Amino acid sequence: MRSSRILDLNGQPMKPMAHIVGRNESYRGASAVTRELSDYNPVNLSPDATILYSRDSLVARTRDLARNNGFVRGAFQAGEDNVVGPRAPRLVATPDHRVLGITSEDADRIAREVEGFWRGYTEDPDFYVDASLRQNFHGLCQTVYWMGSQTGEILCLPRWLPGRGGDFSTAFELIEPDVLSNPNGRVDDEFLRGGVELGQYKEPLAYHFQKSHPGDLYNLSSPLQEWVRVPRATEWGRKRVIHSFKVIRPGMTRGEPGTASIIEAVKMLDTYERAEAQSNVINAIFAAVIESPYDRDLLDDNDDPIALLDQAAQRQAWHKKKEFTLDGVKIPQLLPGEKFNLLSNSRNNQSFAVFEAAVLRRISAGLGRSFEQVSRDYSKTNYSSARASLLEAWKFSRGELTFYSTYFYQQCYALWLEEVFDRGMLSIPAGAPTFYEAKSAWCSARFNGPGRGWIDPVKEAQAAGIRIASGLSTLEAECSEQGRDWEEVLEQLKREQARLKELGLPPLNLEGMLEVGMAIVPRSDLDQEDKEAEE
């Protein structure tokens, strides 16, 4: 009986793969015999097995670094500045008139009404948007960003609080993700993991919250061992829990902190930096010593220790008394036989700056920030490199803004808009669907974050004008990139023109101003920097 053989393209029997690559590994990265990888054997665990048992340590260490490490805290602050900004993200309501079967004019009118109500709600000076009455919506967004950065999760309970004041009953209570846990330390199973009760398709059905924070040491009378179960949504679909995180792997139940890959490097830098600082302090304090004329053998052979102690006391008294200065500089007077030796720092700490820069680049890459944003060092940056670096950081920030807009701002907006419709505050055209019949269409919106800013205002303003003139961009897009609302810009220009006319002043010549702006020659020093960088 002939044995079956596999032939190659030339009709010849193929050799066993083990003879070709050894141990049937087609990728060098999978090799188990190379010196670099022989001891590198991570376990291939499920998403929850990977995250849930490491989460508490990762979060605690991240929070500690955010409190005590200036670079990490600065990186988080840069993220807040680029994602949230100095004011609440600006709502731009865009109800889909095609799906709703209404005219675009009606959709624009309703959008303006909604935006006005939303501004009043989110900027209420009495902070009714916050269940704890501590912050307006901008403050909630800032807290949510820090929560997401440090824990990898957003956790919020929408509340219905009528009768306590304010124009609306909808309010939002931010919750520490630490209190989301299995009741009484129950072991994770198929349908309860990390405090989240799951359904057939691993969708969240309910959440279990410990009534007090497990790390709260100040309220010992609180029910630390009591949990409350909160369903994900009401029977008619209104959310009762907003729990959001970046899903990196299918099947994740909880989020992971984005700092997981840099914690070790940051701690190493902390240790190194502390050792360098201590060494420099010691070298600064001990600048010189006085060398005694007595060597160790002479002291060991001496039979009268009392006499030695008397001599030492006399020497100290001598040096304390003989304090002469010249222009404020102390001139030591030594006893016969003594020597004055200056200490020099023989420690080579030039490698510290190189090591610090390498770690900061790793932190920058891990957190999605530019090296300049993390280090606050722009001394070695020209226009081209700064723009390229900040553009990459801007893309990451826009991605973060999209995440927070989708998984927090939009969620809050939809819950509030439901109340607006329920109270009949909008003039809806006859025949239009109800809120529940076309929820997605009514809730369609976007949120403008902070402006990107300029590295060279002249160059970038000219580029914006060229894009609009050539039809590659719009006034709305350019204003949005700078954190502005294009309609507010036009309305403000209209008011300014009217005021100029009222005062008898010549009106603004926007076309002429644009021509002058386009004719301005960009700064030559930036161009020179670009040429030097290319060379």
Per-residue pLDDT of 279-334, as tens digits, reads: 777 666 655 666 666 555 555 555 556 665 566 666 666 666 656 555 566 656 55
Angle among Cα 122, 128, 130 to the nearest 5 degrees reads 80
Closest CA to 362 of 371, 373, 351, 354: 371
Tally Cβ neighbours within 10 Å of residue 288. Answer: 9
Give per-residue pLDDT as tens, 190-234.
Answer: 999 999 999 999 999 999 999 888 887 665 555 567 899 999 999
Confidence of residue 414 (pLDDT cuts 50, 70, 90): very high
Digit-coded pLDDT (tens) for 46-73: 999 999 989 999 999 999 999 999 889 9
User: pLDDT at residue 167 above 80?
Assistant: yes
Backbone phi, then psi, for 534, in 5-degree steps?
-65, -35
CB 159 within 8 A of CB 171: yes
Q: Which pLDDT score is estimated for 298?
A: 53
Euclidean distance between CA atoms 192 and 207, whole angstroms: 9
529 has pLDDT over 60: no
Q: Where are the domains of the chain?
A: 43-259+365-450, 265-350, 452-535
CA gyration radius, the chain? 34
Read off the pLDDT band of 20 (50, 70, 90). very low
Between residues 461 and 255, the one the model is more confident about: 255
- Is the confidence at residue 374, as pLDDT, over 60? yes
Q: Please choose, from the candidates 139, 141, 151, the residue with its C-alpha nearest in 3D space to the C-alpha of residue 178.
A: 151
| Helices 104-122, 410-422: inter-axial angle, 10-degree rounding | 110
What pLDDT does residue 198 have?
Answer: 95
Per-residue tokens: 94:
């865009």
8 or 49, greater pLDDT:
49
Cα gap 172→178, rounded to integer Å:
18
* pTM attached to this predicted model: 0.77
Q: Considering the chain, what is the average pLDDT of its residues?
A: 81
Tokens for 412, please give them. 């809050």
Least confident of 155-159, 181-185, 282-286, 420-424: 282-286
Structure letter (DSSP) for residue 177? G
